[in-house]
Amino acid sequence: MPARRVRSVIVHQAYRFALDPTPAQARALSAHCGAARFAFNWGLALVKAVMDQREAEKSHGIAPEDLTPALQWSHYSLLWIWNRAKHEVAPWWTECSKEAYSGGLYRLAPALKNWTDSRTGKRTGPTVQFPRFKSRRRARRFTTGGIRVEPDRRHVTLPKLGRIRTYESTRKLARRIEAGTARVTSATVCFEGGRWFCAFTCEVQRNDPPPAQPDAVVGVDLGVAHPAVLSRPLHGVTDAAGFVLNPKHFVRESTALRRISRKVSRRCGPDRRTGARPSKRWERANQRRNRLHCRVANMRRDGLQKLTAALATEFGTIVVEDLNVAGMLRNRRLARSIADAGFAEVRRQLAYKTRWRGSRLVVADRWFPSSKTCSDCGVVKTKLPLHIRVFHCEWCGLEIDRDLNAARNLAALAASSTAGTGVAGDLEPSGSNGRGADCKTCAPRAGSREAFTSHRATVSDEDRRLGSARDSRRIGSPSRPSGS
């Protein structure tokens, strides 16, 4: 078997490690998080005060040239103003690293820019609201520079904080730094689930081999009962039919989560109206709930990482759908299961992993009738209610699982030039308006698009026996084309 040619590419990648700080170091980390929050809130208050002053002056008929000068919202401009005012507004600023204050303003600048672009029409998608002040309880993050990974692979060095021990070995990053294939640019320290983490943003030179089957095409149909259904089985990932088993992490932990949530609600929590601080018992119970949420998120993230890594390693072309997740979440009965599936995360991970290996990611447009099209003869059904889980073709007599039929249609779509750009790691279909909802693919034969089915539709006994509800996409879609 000929050796696969290794592809070298420089990418931005993050390495995340759990920290094991001493009590004094933990207090210092909290102080740096507070410093970043203070700089963010100070900059936001300054911008808001100048905007309100200009509006008041305009209401009094003052000429535009005589108004209070407007502030520049770039990171450099905000940092320039901070450096000249920090001795008065924060005389204690020397207790924390200057990188913490810079990081707080670095997060404020793009927030203000996104709000401005959303108002002027330069930014597509949902309307971006004006930034809000950060809460003391929720702001537990700061970004710093000038960091170093120690050669002993058990410590990291941060500015003003010194050497901090890590829970796990940093050898994955240390080996790349020693070999000269990685360069650390910044580090973000955050507090999640009762533990401190440090994420290093690096420029990494990856030398990944191409996919094992560069000419193979696989269609991936995402669902609820099964996280994904592949058009062809993959050893070690799917069963013999191509179905990925659903571990249901959130469902398994839902009983414990309800129990701890009731315990939190019975404690004396914080009150914004009166300014009352939470009790110690509430804080302990809330920490337990946060750790449980973090555990479920980590298990979900691990499963999705393994799935997408296996797909990018094996196949040269991967076809996925552009799902309307925002519309699907409006279904109150399936919103929890849809959010737990992580549809957007699967597509995001496939985008950069296919770029690493030089493979191709094809994104089918939102209205492609993947479930209603026969994967054998190409006939498109007029209607296919969601409670029917087995696809039966009256033209050729094919009987196949609905999700498997959709996955095979997606795989057959890879050869078509009407869906997707064919560029490795492309995130938007061709002709997209930024949200991917204006591109319509012509069906192979006469038919209609995906039919909307009411949630109260009656399910027959035969359909219940043949399969359970696996696919919840397009339920409750807010925008539908005319005539569907």
Q: Is 403 a catalytic residue?
A: yes
Of the candidates 229, 225, 247, the one whose C-alpha atom is nearest the C-alpha of residue 238 is: 229
Are the C-beta atoms of 301 and 395 separated by less than 8 Å?
A: no
Residue 162: Cβ-neighbour burial (10 angstroms; 0-12, 13-18, 19+): exposed
The question of whether 221 is a catalytic residue gets the answer yes
Give the residues across from 162 on adjacent strands: 158
Identify whether the C-beta of residue 226 lies closer than 8 Å to the C-beta of residue 245: yes
Among 385, 479, 378, residue whose Cα is nearest residue 436: 479
397 alpha-carbon distance from chain centroid:
41
User: Distance from CA of residue 332 to its chain's centroid?
Assistant: 21
Say which of 314, 321, 322, 471 is annotated catalytic. 321
User: Has 345 been annotated as catalytic?
Assistant: no
Geometric angle at alpha carbon 403, from 395 and 218, rounded to 5°: 100
E strand or H helix at 89: helix 75-89
CA distance 396 to 301: 41
Q: How far is CA 196 from CA 17, 18, 172, 294, in A?
A: 9, 6, 19, 12
Taking alpha carbons only, the member of 208, 176, 188, 114 closest to residue 147 is 188
Catalytic residue among 99, 314, 365, 403: 403
Q: Tell me how many degrees the CA angle 207-211-217 measures, rounded to the nearest 5.
A: 150
Active-site positions read: 221, 321, 403
